[in-house]
A = this chain, B = another copy of it.
Amino acid sequence: MNTPPLTPGNPDTGGDDPGNPRTTNGHASTGGTNTTDPNTTDPDLLAHVLLSRVVEPGDETAGRWLRERGAVHLATHLREGGPPLPGASDKRWTGLLARARRATPEDDLAAAHQAGMRFLHPGDLEWPAQLDDLGDARPVGLWVRGTPSLRMWALRSVALVGARACTEYGAHMATTLAAQLAEHGWVVVSGGAYGIDGAAHRGALAAGGATVAVLACGVDRTYPKGHTALLGRIARQGLLVGELAPGEHPTPSRFIQRNRVIAALTRGTVVVEAAHRSGALVTARAATRLGRHTMGVPGPATSALSAGVHELLRREAVLVSEAAEITELVGAMGELAPERHGPVLPRDLLDAETAHVLAALPARAGATAEDIAREARTTPDDAVGKLYELRSLGYVERHGNGWKLTRQGLATGRPRTHPT
């Protein structure tokens, strides 16, 4: 049995304090592209990787143990077959111990690195702090494929979700709304499923925009099979994210738990089409509970696939029929760095690649992502990723197919001849 030592840490400073992100490279940086060192010996990181393999998504009891004891202590306790912790049945505890015994976090990290994945856990620079709103149901960690910073992207993101077996109308609305949101610099988050989810991702991608698929399985898997090409394209042009360790398969409860991550990650959830008792309604209700905006796209009263949305619209959700109505709502929550408040992150704290992309923007005119990529000597996909990060920081704005510096981007980036 391969059981490397996990030095027990102080449970009170388990390293997962979201208020105190660790800096790993001296840069405050916009994110942590491939920041997980596969040869790490960081016991806190290894403990989180182990727990991400052992703890089922949304397990609040395990989340409480993690909060109270710290990751290293909890992982060691499970690995060494310690006595059951409060709240665990014998059967559940046996299962947890068996999974912990079989877990190989170093191997997981090495395999993930090989497959272009990284692992984020609370306290990482790239960890999206809004997931902490889930309390003890917060994911132990997130596996990520794709280069952009999840933390930056999630700051200006909206979830578009809905029925798998959607109508032509639903697919049209999802595609159109996603494309319009992308064109306004918003990141479209969905679940990678058939139907509305797929249409939303495609709409964002087709507009040269940013999209995140939150999966209910390991992000090395392509589920559903028919979305292999789409998910591959999202991994290149956007982000694949999930709390399940590599190789894990989706289950009904994992789909349900995945929805809470979509709701927590975004500023608001738009349900495009959903029958009564649809999973999309679970996401919408999670959004409401988390204080996010819950929105619904109306449809014919004669359509069973709009019935769930109409049910929401009669209760907690706001009716939206175009992207401007969505951004009006979610934008009102405040930008990370609105121009009137000046920059939150000074330009010289950006990581090198992001700074290159920012520098590649012309002073006054707009430029396409392709132009900017050429100028910054990177790929268009990479440039788009960075541009949406810079959008979250308030440096740039998207206008149709072009990108322009904002006043803030101009002010912080260019030599100034006079103060203010």
Tell me the smallest distance from the CB of A180 to a CB of chain B, in Å: 12
A406 at the interface (CB under 8 A from B): no
A325–B321 Cα distance when bound, in Å, is 22
The answer to whether B325 and A319 touch across the interface, beta carbons within 8 angstroms, is no
A256 at the interface (CB under 8 A from B): no
Chain B residues, CB < 8 A from A306 = 298
Chain B residues, CB < 8 A from A229 = none
Q: Say how many copies of this protein the assembly contains.
A: 2
| Residue in chain B with minimal CB distance to A318 | B314
1/0 contact string of A323-339 vs chain B (CB within 8 Å): 00100000000000000
Tell me the smallest distance from the CB of A272 to a CB of chain B, in Å: 9
A310 at the interface (CB under 8 A from B): yes
Q: How many residues of A contact B (CB 8 A)?
A: 19
The answer to whether B321 and A307 touch across the interface, beta carbons within 8 angstroms, is yes
Chain B residues, CB < 8 A from A313 = 298, 313, 319
Tell me the smallest distance from the CB of A46 to a CB of chain B, in Å: 49
Among B173, B298, B318, B322, point to the contact of A298 (Cβ < 8 A). Answer: B298
A236 at the interface (CB under 8 A from B): no
Among B299, B302, B314, B321, point to the contact of A172 (Cβ < 8 A). Answer: B302
A321–B299 Cα distance when bound, in Å, is 10
Interface residues of A (CB under 8 A from B): 169, 172-173, 297-302, 306-307, 310, 313-314, 318-319, 321-322, 325
Known contacts A169-B300, A173-B302, A301-B322, then 7 further A-B pairs from the complex at CB < 8 Å, ordered by chain A residue:
A172-B302, A298-B298, A298-B300, A298-B306, A298-B310, A298-B319, A310-B321
